[in-house]
Structure 1
């Protein structure tokens, strides 16, 4: 097993836990003892469709706010919980239609309260929201004719400013934000104000692009740097950043996750597989430039969307799988287009498993016993069987679960870099500044947002657990649903204290007890 040990990592604060010391059935197989007081464990893969956050199929929802204040349909908690529990769906697209505000600068405070309530409901259900704002849907059947009903640039910017506090306060349950606002459905094409000639919206002037750039930039500023926006075509990002298509203009590994505009603009394709260019999604000449651009980009930013029409054989499974692999798809609409999705037959199960990331342990190498105040090693190999990696920040923690107390080690590794189809190495040298005893080793991949972290302090000095937003590894028997931890199938023995000149030091701090 590859060994890339980091510097000694001090144990974090102590935390009282209960019921974690038992080994899960079928979780791991211990191999022969390795040299130097070490052992090797191999792990059994799972074929389960896992409800992991920020990935997979989504349900599409929309709500309205018309001139008289009618049309808003709040999220229903029971419905969201049913989707999660019965379908393993962990995210929903929410299109917020702002019909009333297309003609006024001021958003009603009551409307902002409705948004807050929807985010709170999603949080209670254990889901995240893919957000989009729009002003208009078509009034008539195709061909669509102006006026379309969207809002001018300055009004859009004022609305984004008023929405920003709500978005920032609920960032924890926002997966990503589709750029929206411009044109029918918020998809940026049929628009009254962002094309010089609304009856010919495919022709855009430099002023039109400047207006669009202002909207995208305002939306980026409205969100914290940990969140992305997704644009409808690659050209929208290229024009916003003044970068060419092809790999020359695409986001690089060095730029990724830096907080720059380039690192925070992803993509959504709402006519996936519908034609050779996905109805104008791929606009470069030759088309291969945009294809190469997207394949490079989406290693580091999200892409999702929906299918919108049958175009056999391109919309059939073999082609769909190849493109979701190449473009690192993280999310896809389960509600549309059913003719396309149904054509995939039983292969839909593979899509359910592989959209986004899918991490599984393959091997672990561990120190078996250590004296208090001395260091021990943990080396893990995981494989990503998914088509993408996580696109939002994600913490990595090693948990030492003792009979009476447990301790947390923060491991400096970034799951956003655990690329699709590759192995990831997690290595830590940890200072065992804990009392003598036996400690079960766990891996925790929690959401770093405080309200969603798998372990939370509660009033009165207690603690609660939120496993809905932690990552479950694709291995049989490792998942601990009560806490959101993954049991590594290894017990570390911390022996009696002995005098030594090579201790690694460290201090413990009490944490809340388990509720």
Structure 2
């Protein structure tokens, strides 16, 4: 063979290899954008809460259909000089069980009297012993606890007043840190602990106590210039305190109540502060005057929606799918890549106890495969931030499948404990949000995958 023929053959081989390589890289892709609805969603572990005393645990069954969060309180006034009786601990257990059965998440607080006439133990060791007793009841219900408020000290357990919080700042700090250390020693690690002031979080951080587990419960939201002492650090202004919470506690689930009407309750300001404080839950009863004013006011820029409705639907997390894409290589149409963009327009990040699953279902609704998607940003984003999740699927030769998204404590959670996406048009069944329908498209070489959204189905 002549040199020219050898060169020609070599060129053809190179071109064939290049064409094969190019074909192997050639991809088919479709993408969609979706909008968020303005409908109100009764999703778990967020929204307005009602306070219930543990002695009235039967009430939980009646109210759990109306609220998804309960502030469960335990009054220890009568036990300042003794161990907590078994009967009282049993009532606490019954209350926690009733909340789980009613699919209501719990924020817990214990105090030595829920008024100004507290009756505290003589020594902190008794407080520590009570914490140990309480934790034995709380720990089995860890998955249903949004937070345990540090509580116990002072009036209402709000860390003001009471004899442990008298004296100089050093003595008060010693009492506060002791209580936090006791909770850290006995509570399951997945349970967050809430304190009243950002300063209390910082002083615990300096001592390495409850690192990454401290959140806020502000009982004086939108009240005075300092929220009745909530923002009391002499080295930080009010705006600096808000900025610190926004940046440092963005992955925590914070809450509170509003005691007094005033200029700071105005809807625009409330919305702005709740964004920075990452508010997940608010007291439904306190303060009714403020809540009624929101019901009677339009939220500026919200198209005529009431301020109450607007703020309520942004409490906690609010997830929607803002975009999706499906792609496949033409040389390998059985393997499909799916990308979803998730947006959280709520004030708070998704609580750590929730997980994200992507599932395939056949036409009868039977789950084929379930994939847990590990993505740290799911528990960090809020206030309109987004993150992307991806999944690679093998399409069945015969059966089309639906791709569904489930956000829940675990894969087998009942529908009441699963998160509904804030999109219109997606299917919803058994806790699953159906997003896409996929199938092999053998009739079209250039579109090897048939796909449509549930909104187009």
Q: Which residue of the other structure, out of 205, 211, 214, is the alignment partner of 1:265?
A: 214
Using the TM superposition, give the Cα deviation of residue 370 of structure 1 relative to its aligned residue in structure 2, in angstroms: 9.7
Give SS of 2:355's match. Answer: coil
For residue 347 of structure 2, give the secondary structure of its aligned residue in structure 1.
coil
Would the alpha carbon gap of residues 332 and 77 (structure 1) be closer, same or farther in structure 2, given more than 3 Å must change? closer
What is the CA distance between 1:304 and its match in structure 2?
0.9
Residue 383 of structure 1 aligns to a residue whose secondary structure is strand
The match for 2:353 is 393
Q: In structure 2, what is the equivalent of residue 381 of structure 1? A: 341
What is the CA-CA distance between 1:45 and the residue it aligns to? 2.6
Is 1:74 the counterpart of 2:57? The answer is: yes
Distance 1:405 1:300 in 2: 32
TM-superposed deviation, 1:425: 0.8
Residue deviations 1:239-297, cap 9 Å, x none? 22338xxxxxxxxxxxxxxx972310111111111111111111023424423322222
Greater shift after overlay, 331-340 or 359-368? 359-368
Q: TM-score, normalised by structure 1?
A: 0.73
Q: Within the alignment, does 1:219 sit opposite 2:186 as a pair?
A: no
Q: 1:102 aligns with which of 77, 80, 92?
A: 80
Could you say if the C-alpha distance between residues 280 and 348 of structure 1 is closer, same or farther in structure 2, counting changes exceeding 3 Å? Answer: same
**Which residues of 2 match residues 437-476 of structure 1 at below 5 A?**
437-447=399-409, 453-455=410-412, 466-476=414-424
Partners of 1:361 and 1:100 lie apart in 2 by: 51
Tell me if structure 1 keeps the 8 A contact 2:354–2:407: yes
Partner SS state of residue 190, structure 1: coil
Matches of 1:412 and 1:435 in 2, distance apart? 28
Q: Secondary structure at the match of 2:62?
A: helix
The offset of 1:383, in angstroms, is 1.7
Select 1:149's aligned residue among 93, 96, 119: 119
How far residue 369 of structure 1 moved from its aligned partner, in angstroms, is 9.8
Cα distance in 1 between the residues matched to 2:135 and 2:61: 28
**8 Å contact 2:360–2:369 — kept in the other structure?**
yes
**Residue segments in structure 2 that go unaligned for 5+ positions in a row:** 1-25, 297-305, 443-457
Q: Bigger relative contact order, structure 1 or 2, given CA contacts below 8 A and separation 6+?
A: 1
Deviates more, 1:35-44 or 1:93-102: 35-44
* CA RMSD of superposed structures (Å): 2.6
Q: Structure 1 residues 494, 173: CA separation in 2 closer, same or farther (over 3 Å shift)?
A: farther
C-alpha distance in 1 between matches for 2:84 and 2:362: 53
1:341 to 291, 310, 313: 291
C-alpha deviation, 1:162, in angstroms: 1.3
Structure 1 unaligned runs (5+)?
A: 1-34, 64-71, 84-88, 141-147, 197-203, 244-258, 448-452, 456-464, 496-515
Report the structure number with the largest CA radius of gyration: 2
- Whether 2:301 is the aligned partner of 1:352: answer no
Change (3 A) 1:370 1:116: farther
Distance 1:352 1:155, change over 3 A: same
- Superposed CA deviations along residues 159-187 of structure 1, whole A, max 9, x for unmatched, are 11112221110112111111111111100
Q: 1:193/1:417 Cα in 2 relative to 1: closer, same or farther (>3 Å)?
A: closer
Tell me the CA shift for residue 434 of structure 1. Answer: 5.9
Aligned residue number for residue 167 of structure 1: 138
Contact residue 388 and residue 419 of structure 1 kept, 8 A: yes
Count of residue pairs the alignment pairs up: 402
In structure 2, which of residues 225, 232, 239 is the aligned counterpart of residue 276 of structure 1?
A: 225
